[in-house]
Homo-oligomer: A and B are copies of this chain.
Amino acid sequence: MSALEKLRDRMAELSDLSATQMLAAWDQLVMMPAEGAPARAEQLGTLARLTHERSTGEEVGEWLTELDEAPLDGLDADVVRLARRDWERARRVPIELAAELAQASAQGQESWREAREADDFAAFAPALQRNVELARAYGECVAEAGESAYDGLLGDYDFGLSTEDLRRVFSALAQGLTPLVAEASAHTPHRTLAVPVTAQEAAVAGVLRRVGVEQESWRVDVSAHPFTAWIGPRDSRVTTRYGDGEVESLLSSLHEFGHALYERQVDPALDRTNLGSGTSMSMHESQSKLWENHVARSRSFAEVLASELGDGGFTVGAEELHATLVGVQPSLIRVSADPLTYPLHIILRFELELAMIEGTLAVADLPEAWREGMDGLLCVEVPSDALGCLQDVHWGGGSFGYFPSYALGCLIAAQLWEALERDLGPREQDLSRGETGAIQAWLAERVHRHGRRLDTLPLLAQATGEEGLAVEPFLRFVAPLAGC
């Protein structure tokens, strides 16, 4: 076998291992009996170790060296380019550091869980301190030449984005959003709608059927937190949850559908290569946010949602439903934030985690900085750390550089949506009839099919015809929600 064949065989193997890990994780959250947890942790640990060993082995480096001068066509050239990048990044991490990161992540999550329960930040501070130091060390290891530690961390989630890019775009975003928050608080009272679970279930099933979710190649299940698993190109699994008297399930099921659709529409030629999945965290989040914000929260699609709820036995007008889905209300908790204030929660986390990694914010000062930030960005007073800086698992698990993708997803979704409407014309009419075929085809062509062949920024430029991240499309999307 040639070096290229060996490399492609290995990439196929790693792709299968990744699918297997996703299956084991899906099963753990959806099907596994509770007492299966310890054995599952061992199984997932073994799959992760094998994946690490098979992706960082010396032999991969030898194949890559052999391929240094080889004339390769487009697809093979990209396979080799990404394989080299991934291999080099992984090889920069000493084994001892990788082991310590894994251990600190498990212990930090446990410490975080207890501290949040007890509303006791001091109990979590040592674990957080350790996670910050390890993340800084890790970021320095993987950083490309000339990059900072935080740049290095970002690269794992969004290769090619710099801390400077984020500073610039988040500063503009905060500037644009802060006045809207004040407007919104004055104009659009938050509403609730007491939708029974049975009506939600009927509506979720009906809406997902309309966008193409069929049992031959999808599963829809319930889990504690909604998520998506892609086990194969024709084996997509989304989950949702149903809170009594809530409407979150309508939004979250289309949000998860967006993630799944991205993976399903990657070019089949990339299947079982290292290019055959979504290119980055922010681009993935843009796909879920596009369906959540620009489809599910549109006035037109509210007609469809109201009709499906009606079929489920709950009568509501499209106008009232829409108002509920887009109501703005500054609040304490990120995961239940409205579409306008959501990115401000992320900007706060970005600023704080960046300062911790750069060493300009001491871990002990985090709670106070959090309070100040919430006050400054959202005019919200934080009554406790449990409802403040202890609300998310990410830092307890050692994830730094991950939060930004949530806000970038909102921005990119809005940029893509404007480009899509420029190309296809306004979508109101189609959406009011529940027709999304043209949207799905546009996304397949402009975004999905490329897989990992293009990184976030080149992919965005190619899809929209414009360079770089921009905040204006998102601000144009949220302005009406603030009553402006």
Contact = CB atoms under 8 A, between A and B. Distances in A.
A235 interface: yes
A441 interface: no
Given A33-B234, A216-B35, A42 B27 contact: no
A45 to B, nearest CB: 8
B50 A235 contact: no
Interface in A207-260: 215-219, 231-235
Interface stretch (A18-26, A73-81, A294-302, A396-404): A18-26
A45 B272 CA distance: 13
Interface in A1-25: 12-13, 16-17, 19-20, 23-24
A47 B43 CA distance: 13
A34 interface: yes
B36 A235 contact: yes
A455 to B, nearest CB: 26
A217 B34 CA distance: 6
Contact of A46 (B13, B46, B215): B13
B39 A20 contact: no
A12 B234 contact: no
A229 B357 CA distance: 46
Contacts of A16: 42-43, 45-47
Nearest to A215: B33
A39 B233 CA distance: 7
A383 interface: no
A106 interface: no
Contacts of A215: 33
A256 to B, nearest CB: 16
A35 B272 contact: no
A130 interface: no
B235 A40 contact: yes
7 contacts: A20-B24, A23-B23, A23-B24, A32-B235, A33-B215, A39-B232, A50-B50
Interface of A: 12-13, 16-17, 19-20, 23-24, 27, 31-36, 38-40, 42-43, 45-47, 49-50, 215-219, 231-235, 272
Given A19-B43, A33-B235, A36-B235, 17 more contacts: A12-B46, A13-B46, A13-B49, A16-B43, A16-B45, A16-B46, A16-B47, A17-B50, A32-B235, A33-B218, A34-B217, A35-B216, A36-B234, A38-B232, A39-B233, A40-B232, A43-B232
